[in-house]
Structure formats: structure tokens, C-alpha cells
């Protein structure tokens, strides 16, 4: 087994261990919450105590905690998420459209800001001390430091209520009834609702990519390989292109990490815009203490983050020969 293969096996083992810890924490935290998912139904008179007892038995909530944990682990790790308590639907039927809605919103936003902000950051870093560098750093840092719901509310006030150019909430008009994903996402009505949350997401992600790209190019300025290219007569833009290409690894690694975190959605963004994504669905499920729905949602989010971290580690170890896969620092 090569050193890289041993490194990969170690990272896979860590990923499996983190997954087990994550799903265990989900189980414990949900059981520690006060109340139960049935209290509202009892209070409203929709169910009596005998019906509640029967439903608890159906979901295995009347069994000892250790047996609930074993059943939970076996089902969640086999991706058998069961049925939502309050919706009476298979959990995956509830989550799948919400997850797709989140990905449709955030993946294009992440790709767009990674390309535009990285390009701008590289150019700003190459022209260090310029007005462009100062303005871009201040603007993107301000946007990244501002809570996303504040930016979202500001955009709604300006573009929805003051200028009335785009809708404030939702993913489609109330009267719209599209059939399938094609009619849903390839329509002017969807695009009209999409512009505002997409723009806020792009601005929110922009600061990190810009600073990573800018810092990478600044570090490469004055390096020996650029002096060689300058001696060969390459133009400033050609030198910038080579400096940017050699500073891409941190950007690609961060992109992989952010891509994993997208599966949890920008919860506050989805709540403010009323976007029917997985983050908003998780908030509602927690409020209603819908155990199967919360467990599946958090498991998907945790698994995506763990896989993204694993991918980032492997990317760094594979593409950067100065990173030691033996855990001993730089080679």
C-alpha cells in the first residue's frame, strides 16, 4: 500500500467515525427536546390519548431507548428514513423536492461567485494597493460579515417594495401549477422569483473566494517562476494567468467544502424569501418535532459536509506534492 493509499484509508476511517458520531448526536438531541410531536394534535383535539399510544407504538417510540437507538442506526445508515409523523408521507418524498430546490438556488450561485469573485480577486491581488483592491475587499468583507437575512431583507425592501421589480417571496406565483421539474425551473415565472435570492446568495459567498484568490496571487508575486516568465517577455496578463493558475488549489478546496455545506441550505435566506428548500423544511420539522424528518435532514447535511471535507483533504494531498500524506507536515 502506497503512502497516498494509507492516507486515503485513514481519511475514510475518520469520515465513517464522524458519520456515526453525527447520527448519534442527532438521536440524543432530539430526545432531549421538551415536549413531543403529538402535543399539538392532542391540544387541537385531532387525536385522543389512545390514538397517540398507537402511533407511538407504530413509530417505535414506546420501546426502550437503547432499542430505539439500534433501530434508528440501522434505518438511517441504510437510507431507510421511514415516514414523517405529522405529514404521513415517506420522509424522502418530503425532502427530495426541498433538497432539489435548495441545490437549484445555491449551486449556480456558488459556481457564479467562485468564477467571478476569484477572477476579480486575482486581478485585485496583482494590482496590489489599487483602488480596485481596496474597494473590492471592503465591499465583499462587509457583505460576508453581514448576516444573510439582513442583506435579504434590505434587498426585499429596495427591489420588491420600493421599486416593485421582482417578487419578495416564494419560488413561483400562487396561481402557477407547473407539472414536473422542467416546467417548474424553465419558466419566466420561476426566473422572476429566482433573481433576488440568487443575487443575495452570490454576494454572500463572494468575500471568501475573492480574498482566497487575492491572497494566493499576492503570495506568488515575486516568485522565481514568475521572474522566469517575465524574462521570457510574457505580458502582465499572461503572468497573472500563470500566477492565478498556481494559486487555484485553496480555491478548489474551499469550493469543495462549500459545496458540501450547500446541502444544509442557507436556512435564514430560505426563511426570509419563503424559499421551499431543505433548510426551511428543517426549521419547520424541528418546531413540530417531527423526528424522522429532522433525523433524515440533519443526516443528509452532516454526510454531505463529511464527504466534502474528505474530498478537500484528498484534493490537497493528491495535487500538492508539498503536503505530507503521512501527517508530518510539509515534505
Q: Regarding predicted confidence, which is higher, 101 or 266?
A: 101
pLDDT for 55 equals: 72
What mean pLDDT comes out for the span 159-188? Answer: 82
- The percent of residues in the chain predicted with pLDDT above 90, rounded, is 9
Residue 214, pLDDT above cutoff 60: yes
What pTM, to 2 d.p., does this model score? 0.78
The answer to whether the beta carbons of residues 19 and 302 sit under 8 Å apart is yes
| 39-62 pLDDT, tens digit each | 656 665 666 677 777 777 777 777
Among the residue ranges 83-97, 176-190, 201-215, the one predicted with the least confidence is 176-190
When pLDDT is averaged across residues 153-176 and rounded to a whole number, the result is 87
Domain with residues 94-323, CATH architecture = Orthogonal Bundle (1.10)
Q: How confident is the model at residue 111 (pLDDT cuts 50, 70, 90)?
A: very high
| pLDDT greater than 90 at residue 32 | no
Q: Could you tell me if 221 and 236 are in contact, meaning their C-beta atoms sit under 8 angstroms apart?
A: no
pLDDT for 153 beyond 80: yes
Position 231 scores a pLDDT of: 74
8-state DSSP, 212: H
pLDDT of residue 1: 66
Q: pLDDT tens across 59-74, in order?
A: 777 778 888 888 888 8
Distances (CA, A) of 182 to 105, 185, 186: 15, 6, 6
The vertex-24 CA angle with 18 and 25, nearest 5°, equals 90
Enter the C-alpha cell of residue 289: 418535532
Annotated domain spans of the chain: 9-78, 94-323
Q: Which of 15-19, 242-246, 305-309 has the lowest mean pLDDT?
A: 242-246
Contact predicate 152/269, CB 8 Å: yes
- Does position 108 have pLDDT exceeding 90, yes or no? yes
> Using CB atoms within 10 A of its CB, is residue 43 exposed (0-12), middle (13-18) or buried (19+)?
exposed
What's the pLDDT at 44? 58
Using an 8 Å Cβ cutoff, are 249 and 319 in contact?
yes
> With the CA atoms of 163, 169, 171 and 175 taken in that order, what torsion angle do they form, in degrees rounded to the nearest 10?
-90
Amino acid at each position: 500500500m502506497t503512502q497516498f493509499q494509507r492516507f486515503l484509508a485513514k481519511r475514510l476511517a475518520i469520515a465513517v467515525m464522524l458519520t456515526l458520531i453525527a447520527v448519534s448526536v442527532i438521536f440524543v438531541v432530539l430526545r432531549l427536546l421538551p415536549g413531543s410531536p403529538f402535543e399539538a394534535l392532542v391540544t387541537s383535539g385531532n387525536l385522543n390519548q389512545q390514538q397517540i399510544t398507537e402511533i407511538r407504538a407504530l413509530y417505535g417510540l414506546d420501546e426502550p431507548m437503547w432499542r430505539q437507538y439500534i433501530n434508528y442506526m440501522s434505518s438511517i445508515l441504510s437510507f431507510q428514513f421511514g415516514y414523517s409523523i405529522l405529514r404521513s408521507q415517506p420522509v424522502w418524498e418530503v425532502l427530495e423536492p426541498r433538497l432539489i430546490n435548495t441545490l437549484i438556488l445555491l449551486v449556480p450561485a456558488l459556481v457564479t461567485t467562485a468564477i467571478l469573485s476569484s477572477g476579480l480577486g486575482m486581478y485585485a491581488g496583482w494590482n496590489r494597493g489599487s483602488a480596485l483592491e481596496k474597494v473590492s475587499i471592503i465591499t465583499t468583507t462587509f457583505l460576508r460579515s453581514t448576516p444573510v437575512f439582513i442583506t435579504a431583507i434590505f434587498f426585499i425592501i429596495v427591489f420588491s417594495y420600493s421599486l416593485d421589480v421582482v417578487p419578495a417571496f416564494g419560488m413561483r406565483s400562487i396561481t402557477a401549477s407547473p407539472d414536473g421539474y422542467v416546467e417548474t425551473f424553465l419558466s419566466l415565472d420561476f426566473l422572476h422569483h429566482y433573481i433576488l435570492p440568487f443575487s443575495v446568495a452570490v454576494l454572500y459567498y463572494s468575500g471568501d473566494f475573492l480574498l482566497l484568490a487575492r491572497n494566493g496571487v499576492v503570495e506568488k508575486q515575486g516568485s522565481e517562476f514568475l521572474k522566469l516568465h517575465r524574462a521570457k517577455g510574457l505580458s502582465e496578463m499572461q503572468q497573472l494567468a500563470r500566477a492565478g493558475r498556481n494559486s487555484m488549489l485553496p480555491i478548489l478546496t474551499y469550493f469543495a467544502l462549500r459545496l458540501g455545506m450547500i446541502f444544509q441550505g442557507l436556512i435564514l435566506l430560505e426563511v426570509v424569501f419563503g424559499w421551499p428548500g431543505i433548510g426551511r423544511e428543517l426549521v419547520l420539522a424541528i418546531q413540530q418535532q417531527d423526528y424522522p424528518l429532522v433525523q433524515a435532514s440533519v443526516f443528509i447535511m452532516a454526510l454531505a459536509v463529511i464527504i466534502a471535507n474528505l474530498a478537500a483533504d484528498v484534493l490537497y494531498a493528491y495535487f500538492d506534492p508539498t503536503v505530507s500524506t503521512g501527517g508530518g507536515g510539509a515534505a
